Structure 1
Amino acid sequence: MKNKLRYLIFGLLVFVSYAVSNSAVIEKELTYKKYTLGDTYKYGKGTRNFQWEKISNNLDRLDSFQSQNLRFGSLKNYKNINGIPPVARQIAMQKYSNGARPTVKDKFGHRRNQGIPLYALGQMDRPDRYAPDGSLVSIISRDLEYYKVVVESMDGEWLIPVRYVKEIEAKSFSKVIVVDRKNQNIATLEKVGDIWKVRSMNPASTGLDKPPYALPTPLGVFVVQSKKQKMEYLKDGSKTEIDGYAPYATRFSGGGYIHGVPVNLPRTEMIEYSPTLGTTPRSHMCVRNATSHAKYIYSWAETNKGLIIVIE
């Protein structure tokens, strides 16, 4: 009897600790119900899961970030349109056995290509690090040359040349898509009052680290950048030959989109589902979904108002 009482008290303490340490409250209320995964589910000889504690911590951080700031923006350097950034203070060269050109990264693993230079206050000789295209920022101030910002997924205050920052009208963000690279799944959540409602729980496939054409899906917090009902993609190695299209594509960082099952030519009709979803990374930086789920996200998350959080 004493042992049972001891275990009961221990269990209650664990539950209270979990509730206190995760102040973002999450409840399930699905509005997209196809291909729904369980909280924990079998994969191969093991299991995978939705990392609700990590998701809750990220949502709690987002809530805090929103409550402390009123002016938001997203970082812009898609296809290096605003210029490839200067070499950061400390860089690393990621080399590949397949002969692909090495990737230049900062000490935190962020790529220089399509990156945004972050300058530490008072150290303007070269950037301290990079941030990925599409990252959510809070704007503190601006002068003729620089924005002073806080990047949601990074600590500290940073100066960024004005050409890399786009101010957005959103004052808060109530719709969030969470992509889990480790477990190859995706969840959509919507804040209603003080509760984050889970709207869908689905398998996904993220980017494969196999350059020069396939890149991993970047970690961070991103603003929905743009949308294409049919996002055409080129054949690997070609600058002109179209290989197919990805349906209902929602761009969030660089060439990274959330989209449906790719359709390779000569086929033209859409494909609803692929058994490879939820297995291993196999995309070119994008996040593949069932096509109907990609369509759901395409309609549900508004440009410059929806967020994508990518976790490991």
Structure 2
Amino acid sequence: MYRNRKTTLIILLIIMVTVSGCAYRRGVPPDETPAPGQQSRLSPDQPREDLLAKSDQEAVEENINGFNIEDDLRITDATEQEEENKILALSQQQKTQVMGNIGSKSTNTVLHEYDTPLPEEINETMQYFEYTISFDYLLVTAEDGAEIRESPIPDATVVAEVDYLDKVSLLQRVEGEDLENSNIWYRVAFENDTQVKEGYLHSTTGTPRNFRFDRIQEAINELRQQVAEGPLHFISNYKNENGAPPQKGDTAVDEHGYRVYHSAPAYEQATTDSDFRYIPDGMLVRILSETDEFYHVNVPTFGGDFYIPRQYIHLDVTLNQLNHVIVIDRDQQNQAAFELEENGLNLVSYILSTTGIPGDFSFETSLGSYKAIHKRDRFEYLESGTLEIAGYAPFAIRFTGGAYIHGVPVAYEEEDGEKVDPGLIEYLHTIGTFPRSNMCVRNFTSHAEFLYNWMDSENGAVIVIE
């Protein structure tokens, strides 16, 4: 059975390499490359963004996929073929029970115990219960899967087999017998056929991940303090609707990684002759003073003060109160949503997610604190490099430029020359693995729907951390 899975995945990867035919890029899983889309270099004769700006009424965006969505569907199909042998990470409650009963083994020395707690100031008041996962987990990165063994020994009895991009709960990092010049193993727990089991995976087969609630809490508290000091405004230049910012060089992003399109210039002095950086649509700012041409603002994300031309900030829309916050952790590829109380945070969901991949053909999900700007039950996106509609994304919350938190993208099918909606797609195995989108934050569709219905967009924010 393991050989059959290995063969299937090898064939899949060969297909993907053949289809992609592009160069390897930082942060990309082995043998995968993003599909062609928005180029990283701009030219004066590039009309695409002007045409996109005219499509706002139809809610049409650039291609939201860093990779061809068919690649994600093929990976999902390959790893979901044998449902009865599916390996699942434990819920946090299940993992806590396992940790409480964990015993030592004579063959291993424990180097670290994975037992991330929920901070005392965070109350667990869950409202979404699909795709539960423990706070600490291991992402399987071995392309042809791996074998979970009874002990941290290369020839120990195989307890179970995991596929590429599976997730299992992390218990310990231990010393065992050498394999591939390393004696480091992970003790993991998982659910298989409704049974909770334990075993060991060698360190070369996966990478540890966790929900960094301490850092998430810190980011929310910083924003909460900002709002407590007075209303925050935000940059408004969706699809350059208030004017294209001046070009700085010939690249699509500045030296800090922020994109030209959908942005405003943030000048160091109250003159357009001074140096500037780009500040993206949706980013929260505090107005300190104003002149005839500029708002003098503090930008909490940048930790400094800048001068923004007045057309890029609308005074009539502010963030006066912070009720709902979604925090995206692009390093760990997961996220959490909170309702704010006077003396604490209520955790309503925590789940895997997938952010934007930087490269020649797509853009990273940019760091910072953003206003939850607009909700759409769906928006359409273009085929890469064209003005043809390729598909749509459901249950979307826009927070910067054309970037949304949304459900699994749906590519239209063609039937008798007409585009046909094949229906919503709930799940992708690639969610929570590596950056795979173009700026957007991809969720399981049912979770995107939950957030869409839950988010108080008038008093809500989105924070992206690293």
Give the TM-score category using the shorter length: 0.7 to 0.9
Call closer, same or farther: CA 1:24–1:176 in 2, change over 3 Å: farther
Distance 1:108 1:65 in 2: 23
The answer as to 2:386 corresponding to 1:224 is: no
The answer as to 2:210 corresponding to 1:49 is: yes
Alpha-carbon RMSD across the aligned residues, in angstroms, is 2.1
2:323 counterpart residue number = 174
The Cα shift of 1:306 comes to: 1.1
The answer as to 2:130 corresponding to 1:34 is: yes
TM-score between the two structures when normalised by the length of structure 2: 0.56
The within-5 A match list for 1:87-98 is 87=247
The Cα shift of 1:308 comes to: 0.6
1:246 counterpart residue number = 393
Aligned with 1:72 (options 229, 232, 235): 232
The Cα shift of 1:183 comes to: 0.9
The Cα shift of 1:203 comes to: 0.9
The within-5 A match list for 1:137-148 is 137-148=285-296
1:195 counterpart residue number = 344
The amino acid of 2:431's aligned partner reads L
Distance 1:295 1:122 in 2: 43
Call closer, same or farther: CA 1:141–1:300 in 2, change over 3 Å: farther
The amino acid of 1:275's aligned partner reads H
Distance 1:67 1:223 in 2: 15
SS of aligned partner of 1:27? strand
The Cα shift of 1:123 comes to: 5.1
Distance 1:82 1:116 in 2: 9
Q: Over alpha carbons, which structure has the higher Rg?
A: 2
* Contact 1:230/1:248, CA 8 A, preserved across alignment: yes
5+ residue gaps, structure 1:
1-22, 94-101
State how many pairs are aligned. 276
The Cα shift of 1:63 comes to: 2.2
Call closer, same or farther: CA 1:311–1:163 in 2, change over 3 Å: same
2:439 counterpart residue number = 285
* Contact 2:227/2:319, CA 8 A, preserved across alignment: no
Distance 1:73 1:24 in 2: 31
Distance 1:127 1:144 in 2: 19
Distance 1:199 1:27 in 2: 9
SS of aligned partner of 1:296? helix
5+ residue gaps, structure 2:
1-118, 141-205, 414-420
The Cα shift of 1:38 comes to: 1.7
The amino acid of 1:295's aligned partner reads E
SS of aligned partner of 2:220? helix
The Cα shift of 1:178 comes to: 0.5
1:208 counterpart residue number = 357
TM-score between the two structures when normalised by the length of structure 1: 0.82
Give aligned-pair identity as a percent.
38
The answer as to 2:452 corresponding to 1:298 is: yes
The Cα shift of 1:247 comes to: 0.4
2:174 counterpart residue number = none
2:181 counterpart residue number = none
